[in-house]
Structure 1
Amino acid sequence: MFPKIHALCAAAACAVAASPAALAQQTLPAITITADPRADRGALTVPDTEQAIADIERIPGGVEVVPDTQFKNTPAQTVKDILERVPGVFAQPRYGDDARVSIRGSGLSRNYGNRGINMSMDGIPINTSDGLVDLFEIDPTAYRYVEVYKGANALRYGANSLGGAINFVTPTGRDAAPFEGRLDIGSFGYRKAQASTGAAGGPWDYFLTASAQSVDGYRDHSDGKEQRASGNLGYRFSADAETRFYLNLNRIRQRLPGEVTKDAALNTPQAADAEFERLDQQRNIDSLRLANKTMLRFGPATLEFGLFGVHRHVMHPIYQWLDYRVQDYGGFVRATDRRMIGGFHNEFAAGVKVHNGAIDTDQYINLTGGHKGNLAASMYDTSKNLSAYFENSFFIRPDLALVAGGQFQHAVREREDRYLSDGDQSGRRRYDNFSPKIGVLWDLDPDWQAYANISRSAEAPTFDANTFATPTSSDIEAQTATTYEVGTRGRRPGFTWDVSLYHARIENELQCLTTAPWSPCTIVNAGRTVHQGIELGAEFAVLESALATGDRVWFNANYAYNDFRFDGDPVYGDNRLPGVPVHILRAEVLYKLPGGFYAGPNVEWMPKSYYVDNANTETVDPYALLNFRVGLAPAKQGWTGYIEGRNLTDRRYIANAAAAGVATPASALFNPGSGRSIYAGARYTW
């Protein structure tokens, strides 16, 4: 949906949205270039929500800002609760806090972790240096807003992947409440408590938040406990100079129920895989993240730079007992310049990002009960990544900008094998790619934008791709793509829309195929593939003052059409790619009163089955889920609360699935969705 209107009215947690008459007065941010105003509106280093929306709408492509008003008044257990309303983002929970996220088919075949999306917290990477990312460390209720950049529209973050980037932005002491606390409870033993505080005084400001969460889980052997804390401390040297320090701590303890057969997923959905239970498979994480970001403003130009470091200790008994430590570090610098050139407005941005790291792994036999046995493997993996990018927007008319940019990416993946009894499996691969981009952004009128772009993307493999065990396992190439995109976004009185159409031609698509039960997937290059689709978001007022003065009935929906196929593959021909629905629709009818009361049903509908294997033999069946929510959100301060029911018809369905080359009814690829559930929460802001 169109980002600006999200902040105004899309969320249930908002007070009643602006009336159609008021909406008629709202205009898109002018694309006339001015000095960056953020220092006058709050923190210089962190744009507020309105400024973030104005910035993102200068990008000629599929982008979105999701403000906290959209997800603060929900259970917000996983990132699906944040991202599910963004067209083109396929986000589904797996178990506990884990979720699978794919944008335009990025990493759509993975059965663990996420790949193909550059994820950041406050603009600083949370992916490991090889590109893999876990979502356990993301606390869905801790953010002021979330930015979504699809595909090459994420150039400003140095992202160069098919999926683009997602940036989770925390509040600062200049826009946070002095105190905010919340309690949530729900089905399957869900319990969460969170508190935050923030303040500003003179040149200093700070923000702190901490949460504790536990869940028994819908499925057996899916219980988990999480404690998370994050904060930032800012110091303003002047109106044009500010620095900010970040701290993030996480402790995650999560049992894994595992994928099961389709028959088991639909007929005994709460049962875990017996082998996962026997080995007591888990994913446990202790992590610490430190970062700094500094912004300097020189009239129409800005300079932003920073450093970051991450330490993770992962204790991961699965098919073997993995014990590894991650050390990531890096830095970035980004410069922008907005000025008149020959009577024309121009905006230029360029940057460099370094993201390096190492994973020190010892791998043991996993004995019954999840106990360490003898050492089975030991390795030291290092990853080096350098990206340099630029983007220029030249306004040939005040309402029409031509955009050109490009990015060079250098990546190295190296493994030192320290367990030589089965042969030396050391190795090194290097990847160098340049990805250009051109586009156009046109304000047809103050409330209507149209855009188009052509872009390249490149994605180096993660460590689990090139194992260096054999020549065949060491020749995985980088995934590259050329994407064509057109779209429009805008508003009319009582109506907003956001529509993108894209067509991506991909070479060497990275597929993660399950080849044996209870083992990690095998990474392969798929050859030529095509990802194309439609992303549609819309919201409009159905009725106004129907039952009471000032009440309103809103209808909002987002729809994605995903046509992902092989392109003349020697084995699979033009088969559909597995792992993502062809159609997915989410729609809601919400009744709102001026005092902040809201209530209404919503549905999630997948009307057509999709395949779980390249051979197109096994499928995930269609489903429709009925949900209902009711709540009260009268103001920014004081009490708010909600009650939310999900899957009220207790439909048995498959939420997501791993992928295989050829699947059979005995293939354990499926994650069942949760049954009927009820959640309730209260939040107090002072």
Structure 2
Amino acid sequence: MPAFRCTARAALPVLALFSLSPLTLAVAETLPAENSTLTLGAVTVTGTESGPLATSSVLSSVDILGGDILEKMPAAYSWELFRRAPGVLLTEFNQGTTSGKLSFRGFNGEGEVNAVKLLIDGIPSNTNDGNMPFIDSVFPMDIDSIEVVRGTSDPRYGLNNIAGNVNIHTRTGGNYNKARLRYGSFNTREVQLAKGIETSNWTQNYFFARQQVDGYRDHADTERYSFGGKWFYTPDDGSYRLGLIARHYESEAQEAGYLTEDDARHHPRMSNDYNATDKGTRRMNQVSV
């Protein structure tokens, strides 16, 4: 048929042209049939240093509490400041030097492993069993901000923060003089003093606090104090910063002991006779460069 013969004659030049195209020749030369060798080489990945990863870049649930709110809260211990952070569980013991601690939803704060990584000015501050007594050495007026990161997706600490981490930033730099006197329930007496000195290259920050509380229950008196200093140097070109942080804390507290359900219901402020000699002393020093 004429239509069929025309279509066949038109296809012949196209087929000849495709068989002589450079692309077909290039493939034939690059992949010869007789060559089956596979060569493996090293892959080099390069990048520029970006410095510490900012908390705002962490792909997780993050909350930041500012110092202007924290320093006004009437908290006996700094772990109580975390009442303002969502998703935080507070476990209160109220037994001498072990007053309480924080944890996150889904994790028990009463166990030996607290699961929350504590950092003070970026310095790991948990004890070997995971608990966080060093948080007591920081008082509200010395805190600039608190970062709460929930979840294990923080690449800065990895599996070292099972439930997440909290970073307490104390005041660094600035020129200020702050004082706070407080008197409250259960004969609470507290004084906090903070001073900051900043020059072109040097920053100095000093803090002192003392607190005395008679306690809600019998045999529950507590006296504790903390003082510390921070010294940082930055050259004119700002290429680096070198700093020293030193902090001392001491606490002496009586332990009221635990009560039976009946005594806790009808005599919540009592202390058993066999707890009359229970008390503790805690001294902590923290130095970092």
TM-score between both structures, scaled by the size of structure 1: 0.33
The Cα shift of 1:159 comes to 5.4
Q: Distance in 2 between matches of 1:257 and 1:270?
A: 9
- Quick check: 2:245–2:287 contact (8 Å CA) kept in 1? yes
The Cα shift of 1:260 comes to 1.8
Aligned counterpart in structure 2 of residue 204 of structure 1, from 202, 205, 211: 202
Partner residue of 2:222?
Answer: 224
Q: Distance in 2 between matches of 1:276 and 1:142?
A: 35
The Cα shift of 1:105 comes to 3.3
Q: Distance in 1 between matches of 2:246 and 2:233?
A: 15
Q: Which amino acid aligns with 1:124?
A: I
1:238-285 CA-to-partner distances (Å, cap 9, x unmatched) read 3121111100001111111122222222221111243322xx222311
Q: Which amino acid aligns with 1:282?
A: K
Distance 1:181 1:89, change over 3 A: same
Q: Write out aligned runs for 1:78-157 (5 A).
A: 78-95=77-94, 98-110=99-111, 115-134=114-133, 135-157=135-157
Partner residue of 2:73?
Answer: 74
- Quick check: 1:114–1:133 contact (8 Å CA) kept in 2? no
The Cα shift of 1:165 comes to 1.2
Q: Distance in 1 between matches of 2:195 and 2:157?
A: 29
Gap runs ≥5 in structure 1: 1-34, 37-43, 46-51, 293-686
Q: Write out aligned runs for 1:245-324 (5 A).
A: 245-277=244-276, 280-292=277-289
- Quick check: 1:56–1:64 contact (8 Å CA) kept in 2? no
- Quick check: 2:141–2:194 contact (8 Å CA) kept in 1? no
The Cα shift of 1:219 comes to 0.9
> Greater strand percent: which structure?
1
What RMSD in Å do the two structures reach over aligned CA positions? Answer: 2.6
Aligned length: 238
Q: Distance in 2 between matches of 1:160 and 1:154?
A: 10
Q: Which amino acid aligns with 2:147?
A: E
Q: Which amino acid aligns with 1:196?
A: A
Partner residue of 1:167?
Answer: 167
Distance 1:140 1:164, change over 3 A: same
1:440-469 CA-to-partner distances (Å, cap 9, x unmatched) read xxxxxxxxxxxxxxxxxxxxxxxxxxxxxx
Q: Which amino acid aligns with 1:146?
A: I
The Cα shift of 1:76 comes to 2.2
- Quick check: 1:245–1:290 contact (8 Å CA) kept in 2? yes
Q: Distance in 2 between matches of 1:205 and 1:152?
A: 35
Distance 1:223 1:72, change over 3 A: same
1:557-577 CA-to-partner distances (Å, cap 9, x unmatched) read xxxxxxxxxxxxxxxxxxxxx
Distance 1:85 1:123, change over 3 A: same
TM-score between both structures, scaled by the size of structure 2: 0.74
SS class of match (2:269): coil
The Cα shift of 1:235 comes to 0.5
1:492-527 CA-to-partner distances (Å, cap 9, x unmatched) read xxxxxxxxxxxxxxxxxxxxxxxxxxxxxxxxxxxx
- Quick check: 1:159–1:165 contact (8 Å CA) kept in 2? no
Q: Distance in 2 between matches of 1:275 and 1:262?
A: 17
SS class of match (1:229): strand
Q: Which amino acid aligns with 2:190?
A: K
Q: Distance in 1 between matches of 2:226 and 2:119?
A: 16
Distance 1:154 1:210, change over 3 A: farther
- Quick check: 1:91–1:102 contact (8 Å CA) kept in 2? yes
Larger-gyration structure (1/2): 2
SS class of match (1:254): strand
Distance 1:157 1:192, change over 3 A: farther
Q: Distance in 1 between matches of 2:124 and 2:273?
A: 36
The Cα shift of 1:158 comes to 4.9
Identical amino acids, percent of aligned pairs:
24
Q: Distance in 2 between matches of 1:65 and 1:273?
A: 42
Q: Distance in 2 between matches of 1:117 and 1:94?
A: 18
1:303-362 CA-to-partner distances (Å, cap 9, x unmatched) read xxxxxxxxxxxxxxxxxxxxxxxxxxxxxxxxxxxxxxxxxxxxxxxxxxxxxxxxxxxx
The Cα shift of 1:138 comes to 3.4
